[in-house]
Amino acid sequence: MAGIRERARAEHTAEIVRLARVQVEREGASSLSLRAIARELGMVSSAIYRYFASRDELLTKLIIDSYDRLGEEVEAADAGVRRRTDFLGRWRAMSHAIRQWALAHPAEYALLFGTPVPGYAAPQDTIGPASRYTIVLIRLIVEMEGAGHRSADKVPVALRRDYARFRQRFDVAASDAMLMGGMAAWANMMGAINLELFGHLYNVIDTPGALFEAVVAQQGRLLVSGTAPPPGTSKRA
């Protein structure tokens, strides 16, 4: 009952995670130190291992949380667009939500989308949260096509199998062409954010926000560039 110990455990765990995130945000994931956390907590370093089996496990927890927060942001951004048929508006809102979150939490963004440490295989528990923000994007793509929009992207034959599996896994009925357009848009947007966040626009583009906006607009246009015969939709590129 109540569980004096249970409560203490929950609190300590939360506190460790909180301090870890602060540390990551401040000095980067590479210099996250369990000992430093223990010190700040007034614990001895070995005590931390009662809560996390290893540094990697703590990092995994941080990754999961970050994916969740990002997903939340993107969902909120999408939900914030009143006219649900304003697909370009929704696309812009989501994209900017991702970028804004990245700018606000660069180290967490790097944790998710930066260098993976060789050999580190993302545990199963990360893939759920990891797909959360993408699901919002997928839903948009599907609704766009449902409304008659269609990407004009050409689909390489080699990708048909991937897209077929994709439809099955996410239980959506988007055409290959639309999925193609979505992947391209996704890659392009993430690419722009990466370049900015990882410093490759430094001293080249002073207004990365404008570049991002242009890139997002370009992909948005492409997503609705195909023949858009309103209601009845069929498959096929």
Partner DNA sequence: CCTCAAACGAGAGCAGTGCTCTTGTTTTTC
Partner DNA sequence: GAAAAACAAGAGCACTGCTCTCGTTTGAGG
Binder of DNA out of 33, 134, 188, 233 (CB under 7 A): 33
Q: Which does 153 bind (CB under 5 to 8 A by kind): its own copies, DNA, none?
A: its own copies
From CA 46, how far away is CA 208, in angstroms rounded?
A: 44
Q: Is 19 in the site for DNA (CB under 7 A)?
A: no
Residue with tokens 């391209």: 184
Q: Give min distance, CB of 125 to DNA, in A.
A: 18
**Helix pair angle (124-146, 87-104), 10° resolution:** 150
Binder of its own copies out of 17, 41, 159, 172 (CB under 8 A): 159
- Is the Cβ–Cβ distance between 63 and 112 less than 8 Å? yes
Tokens of 44: 């001895």
Q: Which does 177 bind (CB under 5 to 8 A by kind): its own copies, DNA, none?
A: none
Query: What per-residue string of b and e applies to 197-209 under the rule 16 or more CB within 10 Å gives b?
Result: beeebeeeeeebe
- By beta-carbon proximity to DNA, the closer residue of 1 and 204 is 1
Tally: H helices and E strands in the chain: 9, 0
Q: Which does 5 bind (CB under 5 to 8 A by kind): its own copies, DNA, none?
A: DNA
Counting residues that bind DNA (by CB under 7 A) gives 27
Binder of its own copies out of 207, 227, 230, 232 (CB under 8 A): 207
Binder of its own copies out of 13, 33, 45, 194 (CB under 8 A): 194
Stretch 37-76: interaction string toward DNA, x if CB under 7 A = -----xxxxxx-xxx-xxxx--------------------
Rounded alpha-carbon distances, angstroms, from residue 187 to 31, 145, 184 = 29, 19, 5
Q: Which does 172 bind (CB under 5 to 8 A by kind): DNA, its own copies, none?
A: none
CA-based nearest residue to 100, from 73, 82, 76: 73
Tokens of 101: 């979150």
Binder of its own copies out of 215, 223, 224, 226 (CB under 8 A): 215
Chain centroid to Cα 171, Å, comes to 20
Q: Is 154 in the site for its own copies (CB under 8 A)?
A: yes
Q: What does the binding site for DNA look like in residue numbers (CB under 7 A)?
A: 1-6, 8-9, 12, 32-36, 42-47, 49-51, 53-56
